[in-house]
Structure 1
Amino acid sequence: MNDRRRESLEHEHRPEAIERRLREPSRAQLIPDAILGGIDGCVTTFAVVSGAFGAGFSATVALVLGVANLLADGFSMAISNYEAIQAQREHVEGVRRSENHHIDMVPEGEREEIRQIFQRKGLAGETLERVVETICSNREIWVETMVAEEHGLRSEGLSPLKSALATFVAFLVVGAMPLLPYAIPGLDITRQFLSSLAVAGLMFFLIGMGKSLVYHQPVMKSGLRTLLIGGAAAGLAFLTGHLAQALFGVGM
């Protein structure tokens, strides 16, 4: 096993493999977008289903409310994510313009910032001066280094449209799963709810497992953690619906 792993790592770190990997656009941002959309979609629709069941609504009402929330909340969440990523990109661009201006106005001060940044990384003497000279000889590299090292910002992989689409698609696909039992004829409302509960639990667990594979976390721990979070949200919605029925007579 270790030999195969070592061989795989050596293959991934060949010069041509590294070059190919670095040329590919970053997809790191889309993974958390999809995870967030999937979890929120499943929580949203199953919360509606749970609230409707707790309030005593019919299966038709639960399905209509679930679909309406699925589309409206999914679109709202995608737009919100788009605006957030766009704002982040605009912030990076603003910092980049500011650093360009600083280089024009106080180049020696900006050069000293580069020197101290890499000095803190352990470089010194002639090696440090060569690094400073190399970076400051290229305006674009100079600015990007300041943006990343001084401000801790990055713009690579930030695509508002792709992030919004990843969120929306994950929200719709995963969020639709708890509604499927309500579209099956012949099931009474209790069985529909229990089937929806099982599907939602499976979705939460699978999302957690998928997240663990991407971020190299313990599979069972991540799956159970996501399941508990989703279950807590659904339980709160069921309790709210049940209390609404009891206190205000809401229900069918």
Structure 2
Amino acid sequence: MSHHPNHQEDHTPDAIRERLTKGVSQDFLKDSIFGAIDGAVTTFAVVSSVAGAGLPAGLVIILGVANLIADGFSMASGNFLGTHAENQAANRTRREEEREIEMHPDGEREEIRQIFAAKGFKGETLEQIVKVITADKQRWVDTMLQEEHGIHTAQPAAWKAATATFLAFLLVGAVPLIAYVVDLARPGVLANPFAVACVLTMVSFGIVGALKARVVGQNTFAGVVETIAVGALASGMAYGIGYLLRPFADFA
């Protein structure tokens, strides 16, 4: 059976020790990917609805930029508040476990014993595990958080997650507007700005879908198709609504 060299290197004693010492770092790629998907879908939906209504390029840009800033900030704020709330809940649980250990050490020690007994440890091995874990309060609390509450001790930085989301939203969300900016700056250069915007956006959907598939462990082709399909559905609905409401735009 053949083995991948990189996988062998990742599992040498030194590599494993280094990886475990570093702990789990926050994966900001996930925040960026989902921010990018949301940015591309929502901005292109705005562009599609305005194009469907037959409104001028200048209005497309105004509404598109407004959507970029408002929706991007909204998504980033939601990410920040959600991550911050999770961190606060984890800190509260940590304080509660610290108090429990101080007030009821025997009971908390028995919890450790039962947790590892359920994993199959018994006899002297089990007692040695309990002794080692409960000998250090930090290790004791960390073990209780992970095993009893399912809380990882490494906390993600809320503001970094929000920043990654916002920047990705702006970067990818701006793609549908490029054609209209060119059309506004150089009228007549693009025969059909909306068609160009569609192509650029579908390409960005494909790239983001491929990255998303990598992050979540999905098949790359499936990730690309899924993301493009979602984007096409959202923009198609928006275009249809804009088209149906076109008489109101003409009236205005």
Q: What's the TM-score, normalizing by structure 2?
A: 0.91
Cα distance between partner residues in 1 of 2:237 and 2:25 = 35
Q: Distance in 1 between matches of 2:153 and 2:191?
A: 49
For the 8 Å contact 1:59–1:189, the answer to whether it is kept is no
Once the two structures are aligned, what percentage of the paired residues are identical? 40
Let me know the Cα RMSD of the aligned residues. 2.0
Tell me which amino acid in the other structure corresponds to 1:139: K
Partners of 1:223 and 1:109 in 2: how far apart? Answer: 52
Q: What is the distance in 2 between the residues matched to 1:205 and 1:76? A: 24
Post-superposition Cα deviations, 1:172-225, rounded to whole Å, max 9, x if no partner, equal 111111111111124588721111111111111111111222333211011111
Q: 1: CA distance between counterparts of 2:22 and 2:179? A: 41
The answer for the alignment partner of 1:147 in structure 2 is 145
Q: Give the deviation of 1:128 after TM superposition.
A: 1.4
Moved more, 84-93 or 113-122: 113-122
Contact kept, 8 Å, 2:87 with 2:155, in 1: the verdict is no
The structure-2 alpha-carbon separation of the partners of 1:27 and 1:35, relative to structure 1 and needing over 3 Å to count, comes to farther
Matches within 5 A, 1:159-174: 159-174=157-172
Residue pairs, 1:11-160, within 5 angstroms: 11-24=9-22, 26-160=24-158
Gapped regions of structure 1 (runs ≥ 5): none
* Distance change in 2, residues 1:226/1:28 (3 Å): farther
- Which 5+ residue runs of structure 2 have no aligned equivalent? none
Q: Higher mean Cα deviation, 73-82 or 14-23?
A: 14-23
User: Is the counterpart of residue 208 in structure 1 residue 206 in structure 2?
Assistant: no
Measure, in 1, the Cα distance between the counterparts of 2:119 and 2:103.
Answer: 26
CA distance in 1, matches of 2:190, 2:53: 12
Amino acid at match of 1:97: R
Distance in 1 of aligned mates of 2:101 and 2:71: 45
Q: For the Cα contact (< 8 Å) 2:36–2:172, is it kept in 1?
A: yes
Look up the match of 1:241: 242
The verdict on how the C-alpha distance between 1:9 and 1:29 changes in structure 2, with shifts beyond 3 A counting, is closer
Answer whether contact 1:209 1:222 (CA < 8 A) is retained. Answer: yes
Query: Which AA in structure 2 matches 1:208?
Result: G
The letter for the 2-side match of 1:36 is F
C-alpha displacement at 1:98, in angstroms?
Answer: 0.6
**Residue 49 to residue 188, structure 1, CA distance change in 2 (3 Å):** farther
Q: Deviations over 1:88-119 (max 9, x none)?
A: 10000000001111111211211121122112
